[in-house]
């Protein structure tokens, strides 16, 4: 999958340059004190004051730094050099203490040794991973005993629907197919009108895949919830709920658009 991953890296390098200036991310608002952590993520992760937090696939670090502002000691990791450079600039500009490392998830196993109280990832992250094995290894290795992994992510079921259909839900994709989906991205999800075009590859991971990877590494699922809203307009016909989230329009059947999961690492076995 080297070609696909490298193609995605170039995409995210290009997107970073768009995103740091976009109203979607509102970097200037963040600098002025806006909290980028939404209500769903905030409730999932809980109080992070004084905790060591590892943010996987952190993009240019605005949420990572949001946790730093809440008192966490944060490390963010992303495979895009442009994103990590932007994250470091943002940390410097805001005076927030954070560590940012440029690395692909596949290279992380063995790098972190039980140093983090929380490992976190969210929103449009794991679909960029060809498989979840290294991801699962990294989570299990990085957490201290009793530490928690928290994920808020697009619900895998929502992936079966045509995201280009502007009127209604139409099944387009297989839920179980593991081959990469190829797209030509025009603009960005954060700025549809941006003068930018690049290829992308994404992979479907079922809910059983995600849960199974964590269980196989000895984590205990503490909570699993499904939500009828997401913090972006995932389909053209979703409506703004007015609270930072988007939902199905009135009169349409609700579907799970988002899931959250919290898993805890057990104590080390006695010797």
pLDDT in tens, 184-194: 999 999 999 99
CATH number of the domain residue 42 falls in: 3.40.50.150
pLDDT in tens, 194-236: 999 999 999 999 999 999 999 999 999 999 999 999 999 989 9
pLDDT in tens, 20-56: 999 999 999 999 999 999 999 999 999 999 999 999 9
pTM: 0.95
Task: Characterize 173-205 residue by residue with b for buried, 16 or more Cβ atoms within 10 angstroms of its Cβ, and e for exposed.
Answer: eeeeeeebeeeeeeebebbeebeeebebbbbbb
**pLDDT for position 93:** 98
The reply to whether 185 falls in a domain is no
Look up the domain containing 119 and give its range: 2-154+205-232+256-265
Q: Which two tokens stand for residue 139?
A: 């989570």
The reply to whether 189 falls in a domain is no
The reply to whether 238 falls in a domain is no
For β-strands 52-56 and 229-230, DSSP reports them as: unpaired
Distances 243 to 9, 24, 32 between C-alpha atoms, Å: 32, 14, 20
How many other β-carbons are positioned within 10 Å of the β-carbon of residue 145? Answer: 11
The reply to whether 243 falls in a domain is no
The reply to whether 133 falls in a domain is yes
**Domain count of the chain?**
1
The reply to whether 21 falls in a domain is yes
The reply to whether 239 falls in a domain is no
The reply to whether 66 falls in a domain is yes
């Amino acid at each position: 999958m080297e070609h696909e991953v490298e193609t995605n890296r170039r995409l995210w390098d290009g997107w970073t340059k768009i995103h740091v200036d976009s109203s979607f991310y509102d970097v200037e608002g963040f600098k002025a004190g806006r909290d980028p952590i939404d209500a769903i993520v905030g409730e999932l992760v809980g109080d992070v004051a004084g905790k060591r937090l590892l943010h996987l696939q952190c993009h240019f670090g605005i949420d990572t730094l949001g946790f730093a502002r809440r008192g966490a000691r944060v490390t963010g990791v992303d495979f895009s050099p442009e994103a990590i450079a932007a994250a470091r600039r943002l940390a410097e500009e805001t005076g927030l203490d954070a560590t940012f490392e440029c690395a692909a998830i596949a290279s992380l196993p063995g790098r972190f040794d039980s140093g983090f109280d929380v490992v976190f990832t969210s929103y449009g992250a794991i679909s960029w991973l060809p498989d979840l094995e290294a991801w699962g290894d990294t989570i299990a290795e990085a957490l201290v005993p009793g530490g928690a992994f928290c994920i808020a992510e697009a619900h895998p079921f929502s992936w079966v629907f045509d995201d280009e259909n502007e009127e209604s839900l139409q099944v387009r994709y297989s839920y179980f197919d593991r081959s990469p989906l190829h797209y030509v991205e025009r603009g960005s999800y954060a700025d549809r009108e941006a003068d930018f075009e690049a290829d992308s590859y994404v992979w479907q991971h079922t809910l059983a895949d995600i849960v199974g990877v964590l269980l196989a590494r000895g984590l205990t699922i503490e909570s699993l919830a499904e939500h009828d809203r997401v913090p972006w307009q995932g389909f053209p016909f979703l409506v703004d709920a007015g609270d930072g989230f988007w939902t199905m329009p009135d009169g349409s059947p609700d579907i799970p658009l988002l899931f959250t999961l919290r898993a805890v690492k057990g104590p080390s076995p006695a010797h």
